[in-house]
Structure 1
């Protein structure tokens, strides 16, 4: 009986460490900030709620959007670095619109190509085949509007660091 209690406690602690189901835990914004720290970005939504943005960093594969309702209660947590979010990026979107879909890109992977007058933002994510991959959004350098996007696994792009350890790209 005691072993079962320890196992249940371990499972619950693991769920908390990975975010668990925050919406059903009846948590507020202050609870999330206490658990996860200050968000990298935040904004108020049209419905009166708020979105908090937590990227895992350049070696991480996820950026978490934690959304609250108008009363400050957490209603959703979503990893936005995924195919369904990438598909929402359309030509002529502004930088702000992209940030509100994907969160901030990895700063030291952002590059401007003067010859093409093109700004490229890049995110690391785990693709559908459980491989480390990169997603790029290319902006017109003058208008700062989306020109196109590009996604490929790190192996296909010739990036070989940690990508050799595919087990690190778990979901």
Structure 2
């Protein structure tokens, strides 16, 4: 892992895997469009490096999952966008990514506030949160 640390720095999160390896999360931000998940084997050799901010990884988030399971798939969300809705007893975590149309978008995981388990997820382009759909930011995803 020393080579990984030299190139990417300290991970934002890390988990020990059953096989003795590690899973290391490297979100690029703040509010970046990528989170790199690095897997190593028990000897520290890199097995895989992948950007987990895509629909294939989002589809793995299912109702009933706990927060640690979500973190192991997507890494940490941006803390500034974490919000708790008291009336619904709902906690929302949000990640930023570039969607399949190369537009900045947000993926949200909605947790039951009491059980801390996933209720549902949703995804939408950022421009939809702007008045009348303004704010085309496609150039941000083409960099």
TM-score bin (small chain): over 0.9
How far is 1:46 from its partner? Answer: 1.4
Q: CA RMSD in A?
A: 1.6
Greater relative contact order (CA < 8 Å, ≥ 6 in sequence)? 2
In the aligned structure 2, how far is the partner of 1:164 from the partner of 1:108?
Answer: 22
Match of 1:24 in 2: none
Match of 1:59 in 2: 31
Extract unaligned runs of 5+ from structure 1.
1-28
Match of 2:109 in 1: 137
Count of aligned pairs between the two proteins = 141
Selected match of 1:86 from 48, 58, 66: 58
Selected match of 1:49 from 17, 21, 27: 21
In the aligned structure 1, how far is the partner of 2:74 from the partner of 2:142?
Answer: 20
Match of 1:154 in 2: 126
- Does residue 1:99 correspond to 2:92, yes or no? no
In the aligned structure 2, how far is the partner of 1:59 from the partner of 1:104?
Answer: 11
Asked if structure 1 preserves the Cα contact closer than 8 Å seen for 2:64 and 2:118, the reply is: yes
Asked if structure 1 preserves the Cα contact closer than 8 Å seen for 2:57 and 2:74, the reply is: yes
Extract unaligned runs of 5+ from structure 2.
none
How far is 1:159 from its partner? Answer: 7.9
SS at match of 1:164: coil
Provide TM-score, normalisation by structure 1: 0.79
CA deviations on 1:25-65 (whole Å, 9 max, x unpaired) are xxxx1001011111100111112111111001233100000
Asked if structure 2 preserves the Cα contact closer than 8 Å seen for 1:58 and 1:124, the reply is: no
Asked if structure 2 preserves the Cα contact closer than 8 Å seen for 1:133 and 1:152, the reply is: yes
How far is 1:167 from its partner? Answer: 1.8
Following TM superposition, the consecutive aligned residue runs of length 4 or more in structure 1 with deviations greater than 4 angstroms are: none
In the aligned structure 1, how far is the partner of 2:60 from the partner of 2:138?
Answer: 27
Q: 1:84–1:113: structure 2 CA closer, same or farther, 3 Å change rule?
A: same
How far is 1:76 from its partner? Answer: 0.6
Provide TM-score, normalisation by structure 2: 0.93
